[in-house]
Structures are given as C-alpha cells and as structure tokens.
Amino acid sequence: MVAKEQVAFTIDSPPSGGVTVLGAVVKQLDCPGSANGTACRTTGFRWVTAPGSQTPVIITAAGQQIAPFANFEQSNSAASPIFDITALDSFAFLVGPGSLDFCVHDFRLLDAAGEEVKP
C-alpha cells in the first residue's frame, strides 16, 4: 500500500480574509457518551508554512493547493501533538472575512511523489 503523504485541493475565489486548513485524526473508535464524537478525535491540527513554524498557511489566491501532512501542527497545547496520518478523520476549512462565494474542489490524497492515492 502506498503511503498518503499530502492532501491536494483546488480553491476558487477565496475570500479576502483567506482560508485556513485544519485537520483531525481518530484517537479511539469507541466513544460511549460522546454525543458528537469529539472524544474520539484529536482536533486542532493546522496547516503551517513549514514543520515547527507555527505560522498558518492562509490561502488568499485561487488555485491548486498541496498541503504536506508533515506541515500539520497541533495548535492546542493541551491536545496530542501527533498527526497520525494512518488515522485521518477529517479536514476543515476555516473561512476568514470576505465574500463567501468560493469553492473547494478536486480534493485528493497524494503520495510523496505527488501521485494520487486511491483507496
């Protein structure tokens, strides 16, 4: 099986305040008593400009984006710092101020060479 190393997507007409990408991973499969599953996930991973930089990538220009998983850093010091790509849960797009008339599409997982990895 080929390892997933990065996520790619295209964004059209991002708002002037930009878009920030967040990630979450599964930390356990069984979460009794957790109404929305938050106890099952570790959230707070933010796409940053380089590993360890803590400077978030803020997308303000249209086009294809490629976010290496090594560049997802935990922004919550109380949460696990491990972005376990074998347990990917979800990605979220935090939208800044501006027109909300934008589109995120062509979402793909890529290997280290930039080739699409399909399930």
User: Whole-angstrom Cα distance, residue 8 to residue 109?
Assistant: 6
Question: Residue 6: exposed, middle, or buried by beta-carbon count in 10 A (0-12, 13-18, 19+)?
Answer: buried
Give percent above pLDDT 70 in the chain: 93
Please tell me which residue, 92 or 27, carries the higher pLDDT value: 92
pLDDT tens digits for 101-110?
999 999 999 9
Sorting pLDDT into bands at 50, 70 and 90, what band is 1? low
* pLDDT exceeds 80 at position 84: yes
User: Whole-angstrom Cα distance, residue 85 to residue 50?
Assistant: 17
Domain chopping of the chain, boundaries:
6-110
Cβ distance 97 to 23 under 8 Å? no
User: Whole-angstrom Cα distance, residue 100 to residue 12?
Assistant: 11
User: Whole-angstrom Cα distance, residue 34 to residue 85?
Assistant: 23
pTM of the full predicted structure?
A: 0.88
Residue that the structure tokens 């929305």 belong to:
36
